[in-house]
Amino acid sequence: MIVHDPAPEDLPYLRRCVVLARHALEVGNEPFGSLLMLDDAVLFEDFNHVSTGDDTRHPEFAIARWAAENLTPEQRLAAVVYTSGEHCPMCAAAHAWVGLGRIVYATSSIQLVQWRREWGLPDGPVSPLPIGAVAPGVIVSGPAPELLDEVRALHASYAGDAPA
């Protein structure tokens, strides 16, 4: 697997994902947001919906499902998925199963695990494997240091609101 740094032209899309993540937080969800881009057009975007009680309601998973229903295999391969936080193994698998293209993330799963441990929170129920361990054929770019503080603050806010 090849991991690149996000390019300057990726940053506006990552910033949009952070806006979506902030909205997710404001309506009671974990702060994650993602979007699907094809040919310089944003086709679909979503944010985390775990406040529904369904902990699989991740935006990257919704993107994979949307892409499977609405795009040809060629379009899926050419599409780019931007996300505020690196795909979890469930979403990385869904991304690979539907044949989507490059992933660009603002912060990594390892960063999130380290923050949660700093805040005294338990590890989640799923191993925080990097995308490359789950979907080795996917080209990945991230993290973006420019957005680290903002994303970390969103997760800190969510952690502060979570029951002890």
Q: Which residues contribute to the site for Zn ion (CB under 5 A)? A: 58, 88, 90-91
User: Is beta strand 140-141 parallel, antiparallel or unpaired with respect to 103-107?
Assistant: parallel
Burial (Cβ within 10 Å: 0-12, 13-18, ≥19) of residue 3: middle
Cβ proximity to Zn ion, 91 vs 135, nearer residue: 91
CB of 89 to Zn ion, least distance (A): 8
CB of 58 to Zn ion, least distance (A): 3
CB of 39 to Zn ion, least distance (A): 25
Sign of CA dihedral 113, 115, 117, 123: negative
Rounded Cα–Cα distance for residues 67 and 22 (Å): 24
Cβ proximity to Zn ion, 56 vs 72, nearer residue: 56
Cβ proximity to Zn ion, 10 vs 86, nearer residue: 86
Peptide bond into 143 cis (omega under 30): yes
CB of 8 to Zn ion, least distance (A): 27
Cβ proximity to Zn ion, 58 vs 76, nearer residue: 58
